[in-house]
Chains A and B, each alone.
Chain A
């Protein structure tokens, strides 16, 4: 039995950032469920907006949606109807992921230098994002009036910051 250690310092900034971004840009108030460690390919997604982090902390966050919620949320963001066929569908999901990532990273710690990548968006019915052996993924489930989505966080602290506290999250695999 092996316990995955997760730096929980990374989770709360993402939760605050999700609230901030969805409230300001989509007029939605996400209700956040209990975060848990991803142990299989599930849950599957139809749309994933991916942002990578590099520098003093590295890893990625992925916003994952099913098509229905993605369309409704993208529509609320853009202010015009955005179906999965619309040319701005992936753009809207990618920019939401960009804002969630950017706003979270300022809270990771004073004096840390962290860069974010440009958004990558995966669109495909029921695709899987697999957890790797070395990096655990924490899933933060979010519910809104326009449907649910998940924030999949996989972050590792590169620089030993004084404030950094790695705590084991109770998952044994």
Chain B
């Protein structure tokens, strides 16, 4: 399963990569902002995306809206330091499936990923 990590911090992408590899996911592509993410998606659709909010060029909330214009099913997890309720609601309205607040532990991010993929699988087979 291909996973795309979208975050302007390479350090965060490396940490996420480690969490994913512990869960058994090693087919990973990375993007440093929303524009790069769209370009990578055109090369091959991932089956899960972790998306940061604050990034240069195109932020995460804009990226989520752009993805949802054409793709309603790909599981999207917002992973961000934006923690206000209003932001979480805004992200859910834009179409994210789950929301993980930074700072995160390896366990909490892993749980969000499993939760999101479990729900997505259940929805697809329902």
A residues contacting B by CB (< 8 A) are 20-21, 24-25, 74, 77-80, 87-88, 91-92, 94-95, 98-99, 101-103, 105-106, 113, 116, 118
Contacts and interface: CB of A to CB of B under 8 A. Distances in A.
A94 B55 CA distance: 12
The 6 closest A-B CB pairs, nearest first, are: A102-B81, A24-B103, A95-B9, A106-B83, A92-B11, A25-B103
A94 B83 CA distance: 18
Given A24-B103, A79-B18, A95 B11 contact: yes
* Chain B facing A: main interface SS: loop
B19 to A, nearest CB: 11
B84 interface: yes
Contacts of A116: 54, 81
Contact of A79 (B10, B15, B81): B15
B30 interface: no
23 contacts: A78-B11, A78-B14, A79-B18, A88-B10, A88-B11, A88-B14, A91-B10, A91-B11, A94-B9, A95-B9, A95-B11, A95-B12, A98-B81, A99-B102, A99-B103, A101-B81, A102-B80, A102-B81, A103-B102, A105-B84, A106-B83, A116-B81, A118-B8
A55 B73 CA distance: 34
Contacts of B11: 74, 77-78, 88, 91-92, 95
Contacts of B18: 79
Interface in B85-103: 86, 101-103
Nearest to B102: A99
A121 to B, nearest CB: 11
A84 to B, nearest CB: 14
